[in-house]
Amino acid sequence: MADAERIARLRLIRTQGVGPITYRQLLARFGSAGEAIAALPMLASRGGGKAPAIASERSVEAEIAAVARTGAEHWFLGDADYPPLLAELENAPPVVTVRGDHALAHRTVVAIVGARNASAAACRFARGLAADLGDAGVTIVSGLARGIDTQAHVASLSTGTIGVIASGIDIAFPPENAALQEQVAERGLLIAEQPPGGEPRARQFPYRNRIIAGLALGTVVVEAAPKSGSLITARLATEAGREVMAVPGSPLDPRAQGCNLLIREGATLVQSAADILEAIRPIDARAVRSPGATFEGPPPDDASDGERARITALLGPVPVGIDELLRQAGCTPAAVQTVLLELELAGRLERHAGGRVALVL
């Protein structure tokens, strides 16, 4: 990819209102980030809003320089280094900042996640799983959080570990894991979606979790309470068509309730690394697909004013599935996607989990 296109793509994803799905659709429609940026004011106007604040070349050049100072680099969706399993996600991050051994993301990867306030027994079990999987040639990915994440990283530093953080590549969180995060960057691979200097905020952690789930053939939950971040990661793994596995625990321990619930709902019960290897080996070939991403989509002008009015009238503050919009509107998929894209760029549409959308009132 030419340097000019890389700068334009970084400007596009750093532009207000452009998320991962919108980014893909814009590249599909216009072929290059430069053409997409030029079209943003027109698209936002069609959606009934003002043009979004487009990131400047100066700001993204400053970001590139800041990334270089940390010893990291950008991976763009479509690059040869970009992990092919992660690229399969509908909302795959258009760009991430990485530091470390790139090859680790192209091996067989398993996610190990769990409670921050994990029990001593669960921490020991997580260390054993990570070590045994590492000895079998598996890369371990986790989120560098306290508890289970920390144990998984420590046990797999020598065999291959990937840490995904919710902050910029230069910010350590939690602070007590600063030394471990540096070790992961030096001996493994560190990945961040936020630009340098980005502080970790609550809304960033689910986005971090989708990267963890997206990198891996399967996600193992060692200990987790109901409604925990680990269960969010497991749900995202399910939505991505990946294997979900859980370690059973005592029904008397609230920290085991999430894992027991996952098993009751169909997750693979894990008692050893052999159980994990057995679960993922049949789909191992997915990890060696050809890298890269294609941006195919509808032509630029594929929705009439009547279709725009009909589709917009069907939307409201309650999230609705895009499939339902297609049935109700009687329009082509290209027309529906075009109108949703215009509304999102105008700041009038919000995307929700499960492919649902809602108007912003």
Q: What is the pLDDT of residue 199?
A: 93
- Residue 253: which CATH number? 3.40.50.450
Sheet holding 73-76, edge to edge: 73-76, 95-100, 189-192, 161-165, 139-142, 109-113, 218-221, 243-246, 268-269
Check whether residue 263 and residue 328 sit in a common domain. Answer: no
User: 134 is written with which tokens?
Assistant: 């590492």
Domain residue limits at 327: 3-69+298-359
Confidence of residue 353 (pLDDT cuts 50, 70, 90): confident
What is the total count of domains within the chain?
2
Last residue of a domain, one of 288, 316, 336: 288
Q: Which of 270, 288, 306 is the last residue of a domain?
A: 288
Residue 323 in any domain: the answer is: yes
Query: How many C-beta atoms lie closer than 10 Å to residue 51's C-beta?
Result: 16
Statement to judge: residues 243 and 147 lie in one domain? yes
Confidence category of residue 283, pLDDT binned at 50, 70, 90 = low
Tens of pLDDT, residue by residue over 138-161, are 999 999 999 999 999 999 999 999
pLDDT class of 194 with cuts at 50, 70, 90:
very high
Q: Are residues 24 and 117 in the same domain?
A: no
Q: Taking Cα atoms as reference points, which of 73, 71, 103, 74 lies closest to residue 13?
A: 74
What does the pLDDT read at residue 291?
44
- 54-98 pLDDT tens trace: 999 999 999 999 999 999 999 999 999 999 999 999 999 999 999
Residues 266, 186, single domain; the answer is yes
Length, in residues, of the chain: 361
pTM of the model: 0.89
Q: What helix, strand, coil percent values describe the chain, rounded to 5?
A: 50, 15, 40
Do the domain assignments include residue 84? no
Beta-bridge mates of residue 356? 321, 352
Question: Do 133 and 177 belong together in one domain?
Answer: yes
Whichever domain contains 49, its CATH number is: 1.10.10.10
